[in-house]
Amino acid sequence: MTLLKIARMGHPVLQGPAEEIADPTAPELRLLVRDMLETMEDAGGTGLAAPQVHVPRRLVLFFVSPSPGAPDGIPLTVLVNPEIVPLDRESALGWEGCLSVPGLIGEVPRHTRIRYRGLGLDGATIEREAHDYHARVVQHEVDHLDGILYPQRMQDLGRLIFESEQRHLSRSETERGEAE
């Protein structure tokens, strides 16, 4: 297995649409996924898109850890040529980070309910409905395939901060809420 170099914001591979994959069962794709998984785990990520490792192809992988909204979590999922359809107009703001934008987090609006569809490495269709954090993760990763990084989705760049400052922000927002 190989750790892959992660492209950072500003690199051309992150700025344009990725190419569709003709054969999701190709052996070289399995090798890429294996290396992407190792790279994601090493970096402590929840998801990774092929353009983030300098491969401009429509491939993402992600998982969602168990949480109150998803008690079982979502197991590692690999999607080839994924598509997303919002299920309603409702959106919510949430904090996001990105391996291609290291050290920063931003508050990003995302659809709260989506349906996504793609192919697995066996060529079978994967189709699921997702909500809340699961939906956020999928939208974030698929954005990479269209050359979009989360800061481009932000409504208020004043909410783009260093990760190390989030604890201060959370504390000051809590104190401000208690004072009102």
User: 3-class SS at 151?
Assistant: helix
pLDDT confidence band for 176 (50 / 70 / 90): very low
Beta carbons within 8 Å of 49's beta carbon, 6+ residues apart: 18, 59, 60, 141, 142, 144, 145
Pick from 5-19, 29-43, 69-83: least confident: 69-83
pLDDT confidence band for 68 (50 / 70 / 90): confident
141 is catalytic: yes
Reported as a single tens digit per residue, the pLDDT across 100-143 is 999 999 999 999 999 999 999 999 999 999 999 999 999 999 99
What amino acid is encoded at 118 in this protein? G
pLDDT at 166: 84
Domain borders along the chain are 12-179
Average pLDDT, the chain: 93
C-alpha of 68 from chain center: 20
**Catalytic residue, candidates 19, 141, 175, 178:** 141
Q: Which CATH superfamily is domain 12-179 in?
A: Peptide deformylase (3.90.45.10)
Average pLDDT value for residue range 151-159: 97
pLDDT at 1 over 90: no
Question: Distance between CA atoms of 81 and 59, rounded to whole angstroms?
Answer: 6
pTM: 0.92
Using CA atoms, how far residue 100 sits from 40, 43, 53, 132, 152, in Å, is 11, 11, 9, 22, 13
